[in-house]
Amino acid sequence: MMNTLYHFVGLLCCGYLSLYSLVVSAENSHNVPSQLASQWAEAYASAAVVNIPRTQQFTLKDDSRDYQLMIKLPKNYQQNSTHYYPVIYMTDGMYSMQVVSGATRFPMNSNVMHQAILVAIGYQKGSKGASSRIRDYTPSHDSSWKLNTGEAKRHLRFIRETVMPFVEHQYRVDTQQNTFMGNSLGGLFGAYVLLEQPTLFTNYVLGSPSLWFDNKHLLKQFIQGVSQIRAISAKVFIGIGELERPPYTHDNHQMVADAQAFYQTLHSHPSTHAGTLQLKLLVIPEADHAMAFPTTAIHGLSWLFKRTD
């Protein structure tokens, strides 16, 4: 049954992968061609007509920057007026919302998986998607890039001080069950959040994290300072495609090896042995960078939200 579900999800998501491959090509190149960025922006704009049931859109401000927020409520939210729901916060809003909404619709609606509120955080309005995500999701400045980098600290503050309070004010939210989900540079950003503020989220789903960024600056921080990271009480799922390694990656990035090193580093943290930090690493057979995320999403969320009662 579950294999059939995963196959269906894969078919559902293939329609979005050509769009996402443009993002992947942009973020894996230090010098992003303007033509590629233009093509990506056009594709993103055409995707914005998608209508997902029980979904509302908002615009939230980060000083002079405006960000689109998409929020999807569970099927029984209006009827179950006393229940408080977990929240899944996602980067790369338009892409992630379509994939995760489609992947979770059947298992959540059929009570195979606990229902949750989906919150997809988009890019800065008026900017090209590649420039917004590369700037917002990278934790350090890399001068070899043409686009701006290194503003993850600001974006984390925006999520913590603006996005999350807004969601908690508007909806019935279980504040003890916040999940972060990010893919590629979004996965790198999630690893940064885990390092800088590990208690902000209860769960992390990190898809194909781009730990190669800036000569593996963040991965080196983890490896060198893991013993100094304060106690972590979280569940962390890391998904990576089997083919996210040379010769299948741009610039010969060793993304599988990096994900394994990240996992092993977290595994050495005292919180893991105390049982408060739970980890899972999934290497997805035959998947490359553009194809891995849908499988990461459904497997990661199933690990976190599958009903056992």
Q: What DSSP designation does 113 have?
A: B
Residue 21: pLDDT over 70: no
What average pLDDT does the segment 59-88 reach?
A: 95
Report the pLDDT value the prediction gives residue 6, as an integer from 0 to 100. 44
Report CA-CA distances (Å) from 141 to 80, 195, 213, 215. Answer: 46, 17, 10, 11
Residue 32: pLDDT over 90: no
DSSP assignments along 124-145, one per residue: ETTS-HHHHHHHHH-SS--TT-
Share of the chain above pLDDT 90, in %: 72
Whole-number mean pLDDT of the chain? 86
| pTM recorded for the entire structure | 0.85
Report the pLDDT value the prediction gives residue 25, as an integer from 0 to 100. 47
Class of the domain covering 2-305 = alpha beta
Residue 253 corresponds to which amino acid? H
Strand (E) or helix (H) holding 21: helix 2-27
- Taking alpha carbons only, the member of 190, 176, 295 closest to residue 244 is 295
Report the pLDDT value the prediction gives residue 39, as an integer from 0 to 100. 45
How far is the first Cα of the chain from the last one, in angstroms, to the nearest whole number? Answer: 18
What average pLDDT does the segment 56-78 reach?
A: 95
3-class state of residue 70 by DSSP? strand
CA distance 53 to 126: 26
3-class state of residue 287 by DSSP? coil
Report CA-CA distances (Å) from 213 to 12, 114, 188, 266. Answer: 30, 35, 8, 19
DSSP assignments along 222-253, one per residue: HHHHGGGSPP--EEEEEEEETT-STTSSGGG-
What is the Cα 18 distance to its own chain's centre? 18
Residue 199: pLDDT over 80: yes
What φ, ψ does residue 251 adopt, rounded to 5°?
55, 25
Residue 87: pLDDT over 50: yes
**CB–CB of 45/69 below 8 Å?**
no
Residue 83: pLDDT over 60: yes
Dihedral of the alpha carbons of 238, 241, 244, 247, in degrees to the nearest 10 = 160
CA distance 147 to 124: 14
Report the pLDDT value the prediction gives residue 128, as an integer from 0 to 100. 83
Residue 16: pLDDT over 60: no
- In this structure, what token pair is assigned to residue 175? 């504040």
The per-residue pLDDT for range 102-111, each reduced to its tens digit, is 999 999 999 9
Sequence-separated (6 or more) residues with CB below 8 Å from residue 64: none
Q: What DSSP designation does 85 have?
A: E
Residue 1: pLDDT over 60: no
> pLDDT band at 79, cuts 50/70/90?
very high
- Taking alpha carbons only, the member of 72, 208, 217, 67 closest to residue 141 is 217
